Each structure stands twice: as structure tokens, then as C-alpha cells.
Amino acid sequence: MTITSPHLGSPSAWSDARLLYALEEVVEKELNRHLKIAKDWMPHEYVPWSDARNFPGLFEDGEAWDKEQSKVTEIGRIALVVNLLTEDNLPSYHHEIASLFGRDGAWGTWVHRWTAEEGRHGIVMRDYLLASRAVDPDKLEQFRMAHMSEGFESDNRHSMLHSIAYVAFQELATRISHRNTGHQSGDPVCDRMLARIATDENLHMVFYRNLLKAAFELAPDLTMQAVRDVVVDFRMPGHGIPGFERAAAQMAIGEVYNLRIHHDDVLQPVLRFLKVLEIDGLGPEGLQAQEELGLFMGGLNSEALKFDEKLAARKARMAARAGA
């Protein structure tokens, strides 16, 4: 695929301000498309309120939490907490993207719309978890306070272009994580709720992916470098959650999110759609970034194969123990 553009010039000429202005029409087009497709939904309709009862505290008839009160699986519980605490940092995320994209014009309209839609995710997940008694409410609140008190600073806050590249992958990663959590939760109500959230996340991914496509047409070398940097150093926004490393390891084993899923279901679909590794006509720095990206993806697939083997061996051991 060869990209040509009347806007091409020296890479150094592309400041964040110029790129913001150049992408404004694309943002408006994608915003209008999003608003036509996106469907409003009511968080309270996805919560099993009839299962709810008081917790100890101000209510004398409160019942203490016990994990046996919920049908949610252990891996489902772990992933739900990680997913919710990630959503809880929305004020910091809003600050980050509003600072990068601005609050005026189509960019500003998108920033506020995205924030409003993401807000529903935290609302419905918390209501579900408490009504269904899937988590210890005291620990959940303690984790929330600890996580939000740390704040959030994006690894890509130095560059609007890097930020667009990041969210194109991150929104898809979030969608996959929610969807797989629902499948592994053991509760059809939870699965339905997370499927609804995943639909929103997919639309957000499409918005940013299409912006990234336009960025490749405007400044292919810089965009290639941004994609290379983001893919190589990618980490989820919830990495600051207390106990995140252990939870991430459990989610990997539980097939909610792991190296194979990250490679096959997150990175590859976006790269393939944009034909990133097939772009011709790049300058020296863009070509180097493209080559490094290809090498990294090959190495990541090798690491995913090793993980697949370890996971298969673990399953075989567990099956043998169960049959003994």
C-alpha cells in the first residue's frame, strides 16, 4: 500500500497543534458516525436489584459479605475488580485526553461524549457487584481509594499522536477483557452486562482506529514511529491498581487476558486493518520503525507460543489430578 498526501512535508513540521487541526474534519466525521450508531442504554436495567440486601453498617439488619453468596467464579471476581477499578480512574483519563485534544469543536464534543459513555460502565459494574454480592464491598472501596489517590499519568501524554495510537489498541484491549470476563464469570447476568459495555468499547476503538488511519495518510513516518513505540511499550491503564501484577497473572491463566489474546485479538486486528506492515514510501525513520514493529510482533508471537505451551501443560496437570 502506497500512501501519498498533499499534506506531506518535513516530519518536524508536524506539531501536535498542526495535527489536531488537520484531523479536525476526520474527528467531526467520526463523531457524527458514532452518534448515529451508538445506542443509549440504562445502567440500572442490567443490575439484579432483587438480589440486593443490606450490608452491615448503618442498617441493623445488614448481612456480612461472604463470597459464597455470589455465583460469580473466582477468576470472574478478580477480573471484575480489575476492570471496575480501571474504569474508576475516569476523572484522570478525562483530564488527560481533554488536555491533549482540547475542549473546543469536534474534539471537545468527542472528549465529553466519550467520558459520559465511559461513566456508565463504572456505574453499572459497581451496582452489579454490590447488588449481586460478588465482591467484598469494604475491600472494593479501599482499593478504589488507594488506586484513585495515586492518580493516573499516561505513558503517552507527551504526544497527541502517540495517545491516538495507544487508545486505538487500548479500547480494543478493554473490550476483549470485559467480554472474556463475562464469559468466565459463571453468571449470565454479568455476561450480558459486560457484553453491553464491550459494545461501547468497540465503537470507541473504531473511532480512534479511523483517526489513526487518517494520521497515517497525513504523516506516515511519524505515525509509524508512534505505533511502534506504543505497541512495544504497551500496558493497560489499570497497571497502578493495588496487587495488579498478581491479578494480571491470574487473569492470564484464566484466559481473560494474556499474551496470546493480546497478540491475536488486540494488536493484530488493528495492525491488519490499517495494513501497517505493508505501507510503502516511508522515509528512513518510518521504515526503521516499521521493521522494528514487525520484529517485535514476531518475538511477541514466540513468547505467546511459550505461554500457550505452559498453559496447556497446566491444564493437563489439573485434569490428571481431577481424574485421580
pLDDT of residue 61: 83
On whether residue 72 sits in a domain, the answer given is: yes
How far is 214 from 212, CA to CA, in rounded Å?
5
Identify the pLDDT of residue 4: 36
Range of the domain at 303: 16-49+62-323
Domain-located, residue 275: yes
Q: Give me the amino acid identity at 182.
A: G
What is the predicted pLDDT for the residue at 141? 95
Give the per-residue pLDDT at 23: 94
Rounded average pLDDT per 10-residue block, the chain, 324 residues: 39 76 94 96 96 86 90 95 92 88 92 96 97 95 91 81 95 97 97 98 97 95 96 89 91 95 97 96 95 97 95 89 74
Could you tell me the CATH number of the domain that includes residue 300?
Answer: 1.10.620.20
Closest CA to 208 of 131, 141, 114, 316: 114
Distance from the Cα of residue 108 to its chain's centroid = 21
Q: Is residue 11 part of a domain?
A: no
Q: What is the domain count for the chain?
A: 1
Binding residue ranges: 87, 118, 121, 171, 201, 204
Question: What pLDDT score was predicted for residue 222?
Answer: 95
Looking at the domain assignment, is residue 278 inside a domain?
A: yes
| Predicted model pTM | 0.91
Residue 324, pLDDT score: 64
Compute the distance between CA of residue 309 and CA of residue 159 in angstroms, rounded to an integer: 38
d(CA 98, CA 79): 28
Q: What's the pLDDT score for residue 1?
A: 34
Examine residue 4 and state whether it is found in any structural domain, yes or no: no
Does residue 111 fall inside a structural domain?
yes
Q: Binding-site residues for Fe cation, please? A: 87, 118, 121, 171, 201, 204
pLDDT value at position 320?
86
Instruction: Using alpha carbons, select from 278, 289, 143, 184 the residue that is nearest to residue 228.
Output: 289
